[in-house]
């Protein structure tokens, strides 16, 4: 029944006849405190309590391998303007994980990756490589409205390019930090590739993850041969993290920009075009014949130049890949004109 | 396609039956109205036929002598051509000289093909699917492994 005059002017009817002066002072101080607290709360930035998007993405890098989780994953990508969808299962138990369907599976444990399809096991020497760039090294990150993915609440981190356009969205489980969905967008804001959980089960009783067979690590390439230029940086923001020589002699240059990755595989010789997958779009890079594909892995480009066969693979937006390949061309002394060609399979030309 | 210039690459792709249906129709439409491009297509076809008809040839014992001799002939014929031209010799003679020079050049080319075949670069079939998996595999180290490796678990090219 007590009544506070928040303006400090005592109302004749607000105070009981028998109230003592000390109690009145206490009431006044309490009221002033409430006013002050309200003012402070209203003047603080509204997002002050929001999670840091960089920290959110950083936590996703290890969350899925440290969480007991099982679920169904859907990969959707666009070829010639038409969507393709493939599904696979995934489970992790904190020590390892398996992703795939039937005989086509990838098993991981620490730095070991085993492909059941290829029957190969590889231990990547990540510890010796350059560290992964920060998530915001090449992209501006912010938080969008939260969303729901596979029945779970998710924070949404958006990555924007220099033009301010959203080029990727990352949906992160609010409880486990597991990346539930990842969308890559083109310059027009259309999703060109999406990887997402459609069903999620978080429980201790998820099935065991198989142990990868003994690895056969690729021979590390301490330095690329002179015939294979290895620029330390590719536009717009890729950094060389490692270079590897595979058993077949191919040299892999591995780049990352903090959110996306790109590999350039280089082999000596000329392209035997009868051996590449059907489909794709034929074009030219540096005046040489080339093919580009939109795949579940992202963008794949094959071309030949200067006695080398080059294959680029990247999960980045297609125009970002095009910019990076222009750097590859420039590093080899060619006039880069690849952008329109790389964008071809996505139906933009 | 209407904005794309017709190129020998497109004609090669036409001959190799590598064009999609729409592009093929457009290329054939361009050919139908251009005698020049029809001639180019004919040349390409004849060249391919000629090259494919070439079998492996064992160089005879006197091959080097003949090549060296033909090289002399080239020089001599060129010098002789200049003198004869200056004296106003007939056009038919000059054509024979040019033909002989062509034969000599072909012989030199044959030396390159038959005697030094190792100079031809290796034809490489890039294992595109394996490269895609290797990329996903490396990318999954140090970042979200499940979403990164999902592509390995599905049909990469959607077939």
How confident is the model over A65-119, as pLDDT tens digits?
A: 788 888 899 999 998 888 999 998 888 887 788 898 877 888 888 777 877 766 7
How many whole angstroms separate alpha carbon A78 and alpha carbon B132?
17
Q: Collect all residues from B whose CB is shorter than 8 A from any CB in A.
A: 9, 13, 18, 121-158
More confident residue, A98 or A167: A167
Which pLDDT value is given to residue A137? 96
CB within 8 Å: A90 and B157:
no
Across chain B, the runs of DSSP E, i.e. the strands, are 123-124
Specify whether the CB–CB gap between A214 and A198 falls below 8 A. Answer: no
Q: Which chain A residues contact residue B134 at CB under 8 A?
A: 122, 246, 252, 263, 265
Residue A163: per-residue pLDDT: 92
- Model confidence band, residue B90 (pLDDT cutoffs 50, 70, 90): very low
- Chain A residue numbers with beta carbons less than 8 Å from the beta carbon of B154 are 75, 86-88, 100-101, 104, 296
State pTM to two decimals.
0.66
**Among the ranges given (A262-266, A273-277, A287-291), the one the predictor scored with the smallest mean pLDDT:** A287-291
Q: What angle (nearest 5°) sits at the alpha carbon of residue A238, between those of residues A237 and A242?
A: 160
Strand partners, A114: A107, A121
**Chains A, B: CB contacts under 8 A, how many?**
194
Q: Is residue A139 pLDDT above 90, yes or no?
A: yes
Condensed to tens digits (0 to 9), the pLDDT of residues B99-129 reads: 555 555 555 555 544 444 445 668 899 999 8
Q: CB of A270 within 8 A of CB of A302?
A: no
What is the distance in angstroms between the Cα of A237 and the nearest Cα belonging to chain B? 16
| Contact across the interface for B141 and A90, Cβ inside 8 Å | no
Q: What is the pLDDT of residues A292-320, one digit of tens each?
A: 999 999 999 998 887 889 999 999 999 89
Contact A39, A241 (CB under 8 A): no
Contact B128 A300 (CB under 8 A): yes
Q: Over the stretch A30-40, which tens digit does the pLDDT of each residue have?
A: 555 555 544 44
**pLDDT at residue A217 is higher than 70:** no
**Closest by Cβ to A115, choosing from B128, B137, B157:** B137
Chain B residue whose CA is closest to A121:
B137
Q: How far apart are CA A158 and CA A320, in angstroms?
A: 16
Which has more confidence, A220 or A124? Answer: A124
The pLDDT of residue B85: 39
Q: Tokens 């840091």 correspond to what residue?
A: A52
DSSP count for chain A of H helices, then E strands? 4, 21
Q: Rounded distance, CA B118 to CA A85, Å?
A: 46
C-alpha distances in angstroms, B112 versus A195, B59, B67, B101, B102? Answer: 53, 12, 12, 17, 15
**ipTM of the predicted structure?**
0.80
Angstrom distance (rounded) from CA B129 to CA A21: 85
Q: Do A296 and B154 touch (CB under 8 A)?
A: yes
Sort out which chain A residues have CB atoms less than 8 A from B147's CB and list them. Answer: 64, 73, 179, 182, 195
Q: How far apart are CA A69 and CA A93, in angstroms?
A: 6
- Does residue B116 contact residue A35 with C-beta atoms inside 8 Å? no
CB neighbours of A154 closer than 8 A, spacing ≥ 6?
A146, A147, A148, A171, A172, A173, A174, A180, A181
Interface-testing mutation among A297, A311, A316, A345, with chain B (most B C-beta atoms within 10 A): A297
Q: Hey, what's the torsion of the CAs at A313, A315, A320, A325, to 10 degrees?
A: -10
Residue of A68, A66, A101 lying closest to A208 (CA atoms): A68
pLDDT bracket for residue B156 (50, 70, 90): low
Chain B nearest-CA residue for A261: B139
Token pair listed for A119: 């029957």
Angle separating helix axes B91-110 and B63-86, nearest 10 degrees: 150
- Token readout for B61 is 């014992």
Instruction: Return the higher-pLDDT residue of B121 and B76.
Output: B121
Q: Is B31 helix (H, G, I), strand (E, B) or coil?
A: helix
Please give the angle made by the CA atoms of B33, B37 and B38, to the nearest 5 degrees.
75
Q: Which residues of A touch B142 (CB under 8 A)?
A: 61, 126, 132
Which residue in A65, A100, A265 is closest to B131 by CB distance? Answer: A265
Residue A215 pLDDT level (bands cut at 50, 70, 90): low
| B136, closest residue in chain A (CA to CA) | A297
Share of chain A above pLDDT 90, in %: 37
CB within 8 Å of A200: residues ≥ 6 apart: A69, A70, A71, A150, A151, A152, A180
Report chain A residues whose CB lies below 8 A from the CB of B143.
Answer: 60-61, 132, 261
pLDDT at A209: 66
Which residue of A88, A262, A272 is in closest CB contact with B123?
Answer: A272
In the prediction, which pLDDT does A174 show? 95
Lowest mean pLDDT among A65-69, A182-186, A337-341, B143-147: A337-341
Q: What is the pLDDT of residue A66?
A: 81
Name every chain B residue with its beta carbon within 8 A of the beta carbon of A101.
153-154
Q: How far is B66 from chain A (nearest CA, A)?
A: 33
Decide: A324 and A274 in contact? Cβ < 8 Å: no
Among B127, B145, B158, beta carbon nearest to A64:
B145
Mean pLDDT (chain A) is: 78
Rounded distance between C-alpha atoms, residue B140 and residue A110, angstroms: 10
State whether B140 and A113 contact (CB < 8 Å). yes
The contacts of residue B87 (CB under 8 Å, 6+ apart) are none
Of A1-10, A61-70, A252-261, B61-70, the poorest mean pLDDT is in A1-10
Q: Which long-range contacts (CB under 8 A, 24 or more apart) does A283-290 make?
A: A283/A340, A283/A341, A283/A344, A284/A337, A284/A341, A284/B9, A285/A325, A285/A329, A285/A334, A285/A337, A285/A338, A285/A341, A286/A329, A286/A332, A286/A334, A286/A335, A286/A336, A286/A337, A286/A338, A287/A334, A289/B9, A290/A338, A290/A341
Predicted local distance difference test score (pLDDT) of residue B64: 45
Query: Any idea of the CA torsion for A327, A332, A333, A339, to the nearest 10 degrees?
Result: -40
As a whole number of Å, the CA-based R_g of chain A is 27
Residue A138, pLDDT score: 96
Minimum mean pLDDT range among A78-82, A84-88, A182-186, B78-82: B78-82
d(CA A170, CA A155): 8
Q: Would you say A337 and A286 are in contact if contact means Cβ atoms under 8 Å apart? A: yes
Q: Which residue has the higher pLDDT, A193 or A330?
A: A193
pLDDT of A186 = 92
Lowest-confidence range among A16-20, B44-48, B123-127?
A16-20
**What residues contact A44, with CB distance under 8 A and at least 6 apart?**
none
The tokens describing A128, both together, are 């010796």
Beta-bridge partners for A309: A267, A304
What is the C-alpha to C-alpha distance for residues A340 and A318, in angstroms, rounded to an integer?
10
């Amino acid at each position: 029944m007590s009544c506070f005059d928040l303006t400090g002017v005592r109302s004749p009817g607000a105070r009981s006849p028998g109230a003592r002066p000390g109690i009145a002072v206490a009431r006044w101080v309490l009221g002033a405190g409430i006013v002050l607290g309200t003012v402070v709360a209203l003047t603080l930035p509204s997002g002050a309590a929001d999670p840091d998007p960089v920290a959110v993405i950083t936590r996703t890098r290890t969350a899925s391998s440290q969480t007991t989780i099982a679920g169904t994953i859907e990969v959707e990508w666009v070829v010639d303007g038409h969507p393709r969808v493939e599904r696979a299962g995934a489970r992790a138990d904190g020590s390892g994980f398996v992703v795939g369907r039937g005989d086509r599976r990838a098993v991981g444990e620490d730095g070991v990756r085993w492909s059941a399809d290829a029957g190969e096991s590889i231990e990547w020497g990540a510890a010796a490589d350059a560290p992964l760039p920060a998530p915001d090294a090449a992209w501006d990150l912010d938080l969008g409205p939260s969303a729901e993915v596979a029945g779970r609440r998710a924070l949404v981190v958006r990555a924007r390019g220099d033009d301010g356009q959203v080029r990727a969205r990352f949906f992160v489980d609010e409880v486990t930090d597991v990346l539930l969905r990842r969308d890559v967008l083109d310059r027009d804001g259309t999703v060109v590739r999406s990887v997402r959980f459609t069903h999620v089960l978080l429980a201790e009783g998820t099935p065991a993850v198989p142990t990868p067979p003994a690895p056969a690590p690729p021979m590390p390439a301490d330095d690329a041969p002179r015939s294979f230029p290895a620029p330390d940086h590719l536009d717009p923001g890729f950094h060389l993290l490692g270079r590897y020589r595979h058993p077949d002699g191919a040299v892999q240059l591995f780049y990352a920009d903090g959110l996306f990755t790109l590999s350039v595989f280089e082999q000596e010789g000329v392209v035997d075009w009868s051996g590449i997958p059907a489909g794709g779009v034929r074009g030219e890079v540096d005046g040489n014949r080339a093919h580009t594909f939109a795949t579940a892995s992202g963008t794949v480009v094959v071309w030949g130049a200067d006695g080398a066969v080059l294959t680029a693979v990247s999960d980045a937006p297609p125009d970002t890949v095009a910019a990076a390949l222009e750097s590859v061309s420039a590093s080899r002394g060619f006039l880069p004109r690849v952008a329109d060609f790389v964008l071809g399979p996505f139906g933009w030309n | 396609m209407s904005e794309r210039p017709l190129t020998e690459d497109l004609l090669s792709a036409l001959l190799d039956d590598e064009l999609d249906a729409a592009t093929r129709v457009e290329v054939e439409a361009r050919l139908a109205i251009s005698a020049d491009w029809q001639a180019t297509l004919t040349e390409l076809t004849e060249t391919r036929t000629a090259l494919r008809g070439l079998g492996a040839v064992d160089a005879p014992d006197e091959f080097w002598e003949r090549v060296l001799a033909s090289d002399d002939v080239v020089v001599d014929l060129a010098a002789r051509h200049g003198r004869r031209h200056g004296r106003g010799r007939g056009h038919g003679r000059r054509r024979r000289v040019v033909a002989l020079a062509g034969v000599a050049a072909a012989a030199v080319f044959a030396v390159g093909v038959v005697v030094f075949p190792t100079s031809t670069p290796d034809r490489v079939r890039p294992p595109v699917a394996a490269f895609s998996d290797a990329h996903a595999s490396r990318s999954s180290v140090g970042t979200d492994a499940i979403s990164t490796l999902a592509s390995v678990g599905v049909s990469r090219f959607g077939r």
